[in-house]
Amino acid sequence: MVEDKGNERLVAAHDAYWSSEAEMAEGNPQAIVASGDAARLPTAILIQGLADDNVTPDMADRFTAAWKARGGGIELHKFEGMPHTFIVNRPTDPASARATELVRDFIVKQAKV
């Protein structure tokens, strides 16, 4: 997908992280959650840029649904026009500030549980 869009940065990052297709399949969070191997899922937060070429919005939706189906609590927050790793790569963007605020609030809330 990212190769088709010419996103060489993401292709290089992917290839640097995963050494093989088998390793990628074994480490696939969606497959791990769907398999039921996790005995307990913690409450989680997922920040999703809607212009992400790497982890697409439909992937985030499916992951959120699988997490909930296995009994985990999860907050999904979507950001219009934002690409993959937008918080780090666009730290001054208002969307990044909002996403960082959501993560901070999530951590504070979880620390009180």
CATH number at residue 74: 3.40.50.1820
Are 80 and 96 in contact by the 8 Å Cβ rule? The answer is no
Assess whether pLDDT exceeds 90 at residue 80: yes
Structure tokens at 111: 């620390």
Does the residue 81 lie in any domain?
Answer: yes
| The pLDDT of residue 54 | 83
Rounded CA separation 85/47 (Å)? 9
The answer to the question of residue 35 being in a domain is yes
> How confident is the model over 12-51, as pLDDT tens digits?
887 888 888 888 888 888 888 888 877 789 999 999 999 9
Contact 86, 50 (CB under 8 A): no
pTM over 0.85, yes/no:
no
Domain boundaries, position 85: 8-111
Give the integer Cα–Cα distance in Å for 87 and 107: 17
